[in-house]
Structure 1
C-alpha cells in the first residue's frame, strides 16, 4: 500500500471529534491539550504522517472542545494486511516513573528518520478516578519488599500475605526508603496515554526499531517505554482509525512531566507542572506516603496473629428463652433476628414480643441475670424498630490484635484523611471505631485498675507516633505513678515526661503560655487555626498532645492545676494543643461540671461504682462492663448516645512489648527531636510587682481585679511589699515608693 492513498483519500465524516492542522507538535500545542478544561471528558489525539522530506501534523479534540487552531477534516483508512504496526508500553506498573530530566522529542525525532514513512499517533486523556489511591497502595507494597507489584488488588493481597509468611519464616522484613521520583509522579495529574506507529514497508522495520529504542533509552529510569510489535493488526488498525483507547492499557498512565519529556524538546512545562504541584500539596500526598512509611514499618515489628473463631452455642439462646418464661415476661417463643459474636460479647438481637413493652424487660433485667446466673448480661434498645439487643459475655474471650487493625484498609484510609488518627476499638457489631484527636478536641478517659485504661492510652500513643509525621508531633506526658510512660523515653516526638506533681503544674501552665503565643502567630498570619497555618506556611507548627495520667491524684495534691486545664480545654484546640485526661477515680470534685462541659468526648472502662459512670457521662450507662479493654465511649458527633467497644492489644508478652518499643525508637532515630520549654510559674508576689509596675496601681480593690484572687490574699501580699519597701502606707492608702530602676525591671 502507498501512503499517498492516506494523504489523498476521501475524508470520513466523524461527528465525535474536531480535527486541526498544526505546523509542528511542540510544547505550546501539548500544553493547549493538557490545560484544556475538557481533558478529562474525552480523548485528545496527536498525529503525524512522516515521509521522506515531508511531514503533516494534526491535533484532534472532542466535538465539544473547539481549539484556536486551523480546522481540517483528516481521517485515516488502512489496509491492515500491508502495514507493520507498533505501540509503546510501560515495562513496569504505572507508579514507576520515567526519567523526566531527559527529552525524546518523539514527533520531531521520527520526522527526521531518513527514507522512512511512518504514521505516529498519541492519545491522551486525564484520569479523574481513584488512580492515586491505587498508586499509593502499590507503592506501599513496593516499599515493603514486593518487587513485582500487581495492578490487581486481589493479587496484591495474595502477594502481601505470601511476603508476610516469608518474612516471618526468615525473621527478616524488607522496608525500602521512600523514592522522591515516585512521590513526584503521584503528586502530579495522571493521563491515560497510548502511542502507535504504522509503517507501510516491512523492510524499514528493523531500522525503525533500532533507532527509536535508542532514543527511548534516554528516559529509562525506574520504568521504561518499550516498543512492541503488534500481531493482531486488524483490530489495532481499527483503534487507530477511530482514535480509540485499548481496554487492556487502561492503567498505562503518564504524569504531565513524563508527557512533556517524551513528546517535546523541553523537559517540562513549568507553568503547568508547578501550578499542578501547588494545587496538589493540600491533598498531602507526600505526607500520606511518609505517614504510611512509618506506619508500615511499625506494623512489621508487631506480632501477627489470627483471631479465634467460636460457634455460638444453641443452648445459650435456649437459656434466654427459658429466662423470659422463668421471670414471667412472656411464654411466647422469642423471635431471634441476629446473633453476632464479637471479641468479648455475643450480641443477640430479637423482636420485642407483642404482649410486652421494652420497659417491662428492662425492669426485669436483674431477674433475667439471676435466672441465667450471670450478672454481666446487658440490655439496650436495638437499631431496628421493635427490637432489643442482649449482650452475653463469651465463655472464652477472644483477643483483638492491634496489628490486624493497623493493616486494615479502613484504618489506612482513616490515616490519610485526618490529622491525628487513633484507634478506639471494635464495637459490638464488629465494626472498627476510629477517632481523630483534632476533631474530638480533648478526651476524658476513666477506668479502674485492670480495666484496660493504660492499654488504651498506649494504643493511642502508638497510633499517633506511627501515623503522624514526626515533625508535626510534640508529645508531653504527665506520669505521677512514674511507671506508666517510661517506655516512651527516647522517642524524638516525646519532649517531656514529668513525674513530679509540682513540675506537672508548671508544665500545664507552660501549655497555656504556649497556647497564647500560638494565637498571636495565627493572628499575624491571618488564619483561624493550625490547619490553615500549616497549609500556608513551609515551616509547620507541630501539634502538642498532653496526656495526664492519674489526673485525680494530681488534683488532690495541686488543685490549682484545674484552672490551667479548664483554660486549655476551652480554647487550645485551634492552636493545635490537645488534652487527654485519664483517671482511676472520676469523683465529682475532680471531674467538675466546668471541666466536663469542655470535654464533650469521654471514654470509660470498668469503674468501681455506678455513680462513677454518672460523673463521667452525666448519666448511667446501659452496660455492665467486663474489664480488660471492654469499654464504652460517648464522642462528640456520635450518632448513638453510647458505643460499646473492645480495645486492642499489641502483644500479651511484656518482654516482646519492650522489644517492640525499642525497635520503634530505632525507627525514628533520624527524626527531628522535639522540645518543650517548661516556664516556671510566676509567684503571686512577683505577679503583684509586675501588675503594680505596669499599671501604676496600688489600690487593693483594683489589684484584686487584676490578679483574680481573694481580696484578703491581695491584702497580705501588699503588706509584704510594704516590708520590702515597695509600698508605703499613707493614711488609708498605699503609695508606690519603689525606685524607677526597680519598677522598670518588672514592667511588661
Structure 2
C-alpha cells in the first residue's frame, strides 16, 4: 500500500472499506465524497446495479470515513462469461477540460440493458501532476496539438516543433485559454468508471446511446467508451474497489465530476475562480508560475519571429573602406558575423603587420568611407581579431514579454533572489542580471536614450520574480512622474517626490540597515540569505531606486552621505541601490559614491567626458539611443558588454493599462507590516548626545553631530527656547530633571 502510494501519488485500494446503501445517487451524494477531509487519503466510490426499473445503489469509503447512512456488507461477484466490460476514458491529456455547462447524470441514464456501473474517486494532492499539466499546457500554447505526459518525450516534441517553425518561418502559438488554466489551478480528482453489460443483444445499442450522451460534455476534451480486453483482471479490480496503476493521470476537476455524474451542481459548492498567483510566491517562481505567466503577459505585446537574414555584402563594404583609407591592401578574413535586433557584428582577422591602433586612429575616415557615423570598433575576445559594429537600417524591437516568457530566463531565475532582464547582446543572446550579486547599480543616459524604460522594466521584473513578502521598494522620484505607474503595487512601500522627505527616507533606511546587522549578530548569521533560511518570518529585500540623482543631490547634498553608507555595507543586509541620472557630472557622481557602485549601465550620453565619469574610461562604442546600451558589471569577464534593452510596448497609451492589469494580480496580497524605523532628527540626536555624555561645548557637539557648527548653535538655541537648556553667561547648562536625562540617554 505504501509503495503504491509513493509510485502513484494516490492510494490504489483501501485496506478496508465502509459500504453504505443509498436510495438515490445525486449531486448531494457526490458532494459528500468530494468534500470529505479524507478524499486524498483513500478510495471513494459509487456503485449501481440496474435492470429495467430495479436499482441497487451503494456508496463506499475508506474505513476512517464514516457516514450516517445504513451500512451494508456488499461484495460483487460476476461471471466472466456473462459480461461485457467497458470503461470511460479521457480522449486527450488531463489539462484539456470537458464542457462543465452541461450535465450527463450517468447513474440515471436509461440504457435499456442490465447494467453495473462503478465509479472510483480520489483527490490528487501531490505537486507533480500540476507541474506536468503546466508543461503540457505551455507546449500546447506553443503549437503542440498532442503534448505527451512524459517530460522527456514532451521536450523532444517541443524541439522538433521549434525546428519546423524556424524552417517554415511561421508561428504556431496560441492565445491563453481560461478554461484550461481553470482546470489546472483547480483541485483535480483521479477517477475511473467501469461499466458491465449483461445483455448481449443490446450491447451495441447501449454503448452507442451512451457515447452519444457523453458527447454533451465534449469541449477541448471528450470521454470515450473503451472496451476492456482483460476482463478477468478488471473483475478483480471491481471486486476489490481498486484503481488501475497506469491511469494515475486520468483526472477531472470538481465541476467536471458534477457534470458527468449528476444533473446539477449543489448550491453549497462555490464556482472555482482562478486563484491569485502571487499571494505568497512570485509569479514566475511559484509552481503555477510558469503557466500563470501567461496571465501576467497576456496584457503585453510580443514580437513576431524575426527571420534574420545576414547581409554578407556589408562585410565586403567594410573591407573596401579599410583599403580606401590605407589601413590594408588586401581584404581581411571574415571570422564571424552576428546580427541582433539593432546591430551587425563582423569579426575580422588582423594581419600580422597591422596593429589595432591603425584602425582606431582612422575610425573617422572609416565612418566617412562607409557613410555612417555610428560605426564602432573594439578589440575582440579572440587573438588578432577585431569587432566592427554596423547599425541596421531597420532596427528590430526587443519585447519584454518575449524575454520574460523565454525558457532561458525562466530556467536562469529559479534560484536567483533578485533577477532582472538586461536585454539582448550583439550576438543575439539574452542577458540577465542578479542585483544581489551586483550589490548596487548606477544607470545613466540622456533624454531619449532608453534609461527610464530600462529602469522601469528592471523594477517590474523584480516585482514579478520576487515573492511579494520578500520585497520592499522605496522609489525617489524628483520629477514626480517617472515612477507613478508603480503606485498601487503592495511591494512598493513609498514613492517620494519631496527631496527633503527623500533625505529622511534614506536616513531611515540607514537605521534599518544598522538594526538588521544587530539582528543578524543576535541570530548568529552574517547576511539576509542565512537569516531567511533559518527563520519563518523573512526579512524582505529592500530596493531603493533614485530616478534623477543629480536633481536630488543639488537640492539636498546630505543624501550623498546616506547613499555612501548604504553603498559600503548595505548589501549583506539585503538593501540594494539603483541610482539613475541623466547628468553624470564629476561633482555629482563623485569618486566616493562611484567607488561604492561597482556596476554601471549606461545608455547614450551627451559627451565622451560623461562616459569617462561613469566608467573611469571611455567606451569603444557610439551608442545609438533608444535602448542601445553598454554595461560594466561587477564580475563580468568582458570589460564592456553592449546590448539592446527591451521595451514593454510601442504604444504609450497601452502602458498604463498593462500596469493596471498587473496590479490587479497583486490585489489580494497580504504583506507583513515591515515599517522602516523613524530616523532620529537632529534635535533628538543632540538631546541624546548631551544626556549621554554631558557635553555642552559647541565645537565638541559639532564633531559628534557631524553637521555645520552654525546648525549646532541653532539647535542649542532651540533647546533653550524649549527650556531643556538655559544660558548662564557664555555657557549652556542642563535645565531638565534627572529622569528626563535618563530617558534620552537610554535612547527611548
TM-score (norm 2): 0.67
The corresponding residue for 2:422 is 424
Tell me which of 697, 700, 703 is aligned to 2:701. 703
Q: How far did residue 392 of structure 1 move? A: 0.6
Q: How far did residue 736 of structure 1 move? A: 2.4
Q: Distance in 1 between matches of 2:284 and 2:553?
A: 43
The corresponding residue for 2:57 is none
737-746 or 442-451: which moved more? 737-746
Q: How far did residue 305 of structure 1 move? A: 2.3
Tell me which of 713, 720, 736 is aligned to 2:734. 736
Whether the 8 Å contact between 1:100 and 1:219 is mirrored in structure 2 is no
The corresponding residue for 1:643 is 641
- 1:209 paired with 2:234, answer yes
Q: Distance in 1 between matches of 2:502 and 2:283?
A: 38
The corresponding residue for 2:16 is none
Q: Note the 1:5-84 alignment, pairs <5 A.
A: none
668-677 or 582-591: which moved more? 668-677
Q: Distance in 1 between matches of 2:283 and 2:583?
A: 43
Q: How far did residue 724 of structure 1 move? A: 4.8
Whether the 8 Å contact between 1:544 and 1:578 is mirrored in structure 2 is yes
Whether the 8 Å contact between 1:494 and 1:674 is mirrored in structure 2 is no
Query: Residue 636 and residue 286 in structure 1: after superposition, are their counterparts in 2 closer, same or farther (change >3 A)?
Result: closer
Corresponding residue SS for 1:587: coil
Q: Distance in 1 between matches of 2:308 and 2:518?
A: 58
Q: Distance in 2 between matches of 1:422 and 1:575?
A: 20
- 1:140 paired with 2:134, answer yes
Whether the 8 Å contact between 1:496 and 1:675 is mirrored in structure 2 is no
Whether the 8 Å contact between 2:131 and 2:287 is mirrored in structure 1 is no
Q: How far did residue 726 of structure 1 move? A: 3.6
Q: Distance in 2 between matches of 1:222 and 1:480?
A: 61
Tell me which of 499, 508, 519 is aligned to 2:506. 508
The corresponding residue for 1:380 is 378
Q: How far did residue 539 of structure 1 move? A: 1.8
TM-superposition CA deviations, 1:131-168 (whole Å, max 9, x none): x9998863433566959752221435789999974427
TM-superposition CA deviations, 1:535-590 (whole Å, max 9, x none): 11122221111111011101110111111111111111112111111111111111
Corresponding residue SS for 1:301: coil
The corresponding residue for 1:655 is 653
Query: Residue 215 and residue 671 in structure 1: after superposition, are their counterparts in 2 closer, same or farther (change >3 A)?
Result: farther
Query: Residue 291 and residue 745 in structure 1: after superposition, are their counterparts in 2 closer, same or farther (change >3 A)?
Result: farther
Q: Distance in 1 between matches of 2:670 and 2:172?
A: 30
Q: Distance in 1 between matches of 2:351 and 2:135?
A: 52
The corresponding residue for 1:122 is none
Query: Residue 225 and residue 139 in structure 1: after superposition, are their counterparts in 2 closer, same or farther (change >3 A)?
Result: closer
Q: Distance in 2 between matches of 1:450 and 1:352?
A: 36
Q: Distance in 1 between matches of 2:396 and 2:127?
A: 33
Corresponding residue SS for 1:289: coil
The corresponding residue for 2:211 is none
The corresponding residue for 2:489 is 491
Q: How far did residue 345 of structure 1 move? A: 0.7
Q: Distance in 2 between matches of 1:335 and 1:385?
A: 13
Corresponding residue SS for 2:551: helix
Q: How far did residue 627 of structure 1 move? A: 0.3
Q: Note the 1:81-96 alignment, pairs <5 A.
A: none
- 1:548 paired with 2:542, answer no
Query: Residue 649 and residue 740 in structure 1: after superposition, are their counterparts in 2 closer, same or farther (change >3 A)?
Result: same
- 1:612 paired with 2:614, answer no
TM-superposition CA deviations, 1:699-718 (whole Å, max 9, x none): 44442342223445435544
Q: How far did residue 685 of structure 1 move? A: 2.9
- 1:534 paired with 2:474, answer no
TM-superposition CA deviations, 1:253-278 (whole Å, max 9, x none): xxxxxxxxxxxxxxxxxxxxxxxxxx
Q: Note the 1:294-373 alignment, pairs <5 A.
A: 294-309=292-307, 311-373=309-371
696-705 or 604-613: which moved more? 696-705
TM-superposition CA deviations, 1:3-58 (whole Å, max 9, x none): xxxxxxxxxxxxxxxxxxxxxxx87xx79xx9xxxx9xxxxxxxxxxxxxxxxxxx
Tell me which of 154, 157, 168 is aligned to 1:155. 157
Query: Residue 221 and residue 450 in structure 1: after superposition, are their counterparts in 2 closer, same or farther (change >3 A)?
Result: farther
Query: Residue 665 and residue 558 in structure 1: after superposition, are their counterparts in 2 closer, same or farther (change >3 A)?
Result: same
Tell me which of 148, 152, 175 is aligned to 1:167. 175
Q: Distance in 2 between matches of 1:325 and 1:733?
A: 83
Q: Distance in 2 between matches of 1:504 and 1:101?
A: 56
599-608 or 538-547: which moved more? 538-547
* Residues paired across the two proteins, number: 560
Which runs of 5 or more residues in structure 2 are unaligned? 8-37, 45-74, 78-125, 190-228, 252-280
Tell me which of 388, 399, 411 is aligned to 1:390. 388
Corresponding residue SS for 2:485: helix
Tell me which of 17, 41, 44 is aligned to 1:101. 41
Q: How far did residue 525 of structure 1 move? A: 2.0
Whether the 8 Å contact between 2:282 and 2:466 is mirrored in structure 1 is no
The corresponding residue for 2:466 is 468
Whether the 8 Å contact between 2:454 and 2:645 is mirrored in structure 1 is yes
Corresponding residue SS for 1:411: helix
Query: Residue 508 and residue 172 in structure 1: after superposition, are their counterparts in 2 closer, same or farther (change >3 A)?
Result: farther
Corresponding residue SS for 2:510: helix
Q: Distance in 2 between matches of 1:508 and 1:387?
A: 48
Q: Note the 1:238-317 alignment, pairs <5 A.
A: 288-289=286-287, 291-292=289-290, 294-309=292-307, 311-317=309-315
Query: Residue 225 and residue 737 in structure 1: after superposition, are their counterparts in 2 closer, same or farther (change >3 A)?
Result: closer
Q: Distance in 1 between matches of 2:367 and 2:620?
A: 14
Whether the 8 Å contact between 2:282 and 2:289 is mirrored in structure 1 is no
RMSD value, Cα: 4.0
TM-superposition CA deviations, 1:269-314 (whole Å, max 9, x none): xxxxxxxxxxxxxx99995425545534322332222143353434
TM-superposition CA deviations, 1:82-105 (whole Å, max 9, x none): xxxxxxxxxxxxxxxx9762289x
Query: Residue 534 and residue 171 in structure 1: after superposition, are their counterparts in 2 closer, same or farther (change >3 A)?
Result: closer
The corresponding residue for 1:589 is 587
Query: Residue 339 and residue 135 in structure 1: after superposition, are their counterparts in 2 closer, same or farther (change >3 A)?
Result: farther
TM-superposition CA deviations, 1:514-545 (whole Å, max 9, x none): 22222222222221111112211122221111
709-718 or 319-328: which moved more? 709-718
The corresponding residue for 1:437 is 435
Whether the 8 Å contact between 2:422 and 2:432 is mirrored in structure 1 is yes
Q: Distance in 2 between matches of 1:294 and 1:695?
A: 59
TM-score (norm 1): 0.67
Whether the 8 Å contact between 1:178 and 1:293 is mirrored in structure 2 is no
Query: Residue 144 and residue 429 in structure 1: after superposition, are their counterparts in 2 closer, same or farther (change >3 A)?
Result: closer
Corresponding residue SS for 1:523: helix
- 1:223 paired with 2:248, answer yes
Query: Residue 532 and residue 702 in structure 1: after superposition, are their counterparts in 2 closer, same or farther (change >3 A)?
Result: same
Q: Distance in 1 between matches of 2:465 and 2:560?
A: 31
Q: Distance in 2 between matches of 1:584 and 1:719?
A: 41
The corresponding residue for 2:399 is 401
Q: How far did residue 599 of structure 1 move? A: 0.8
- 1:687 paired with 2:685, answer yes
Q: Distance in 1 between matches of 2:314 and 2:339?
A: 12
The corresponding residue for 1:72 is none
Query: Residue 214 and residue 552 in structure 1: after superposition, are their counterparts in 2 closer, same or farther (change >3 A)?
Result: farther
Whether the 8 Å contact between 2:283 and 2:289 is mirrored in structure 1 is no
Q: How far did residue 212 of structure 1 move? A: 2.9
Q: How far did residue 219 of structure 1 move? A: 9.2
Q: Distance in 2 between matches of 1:531 and 1:329?
A: 55
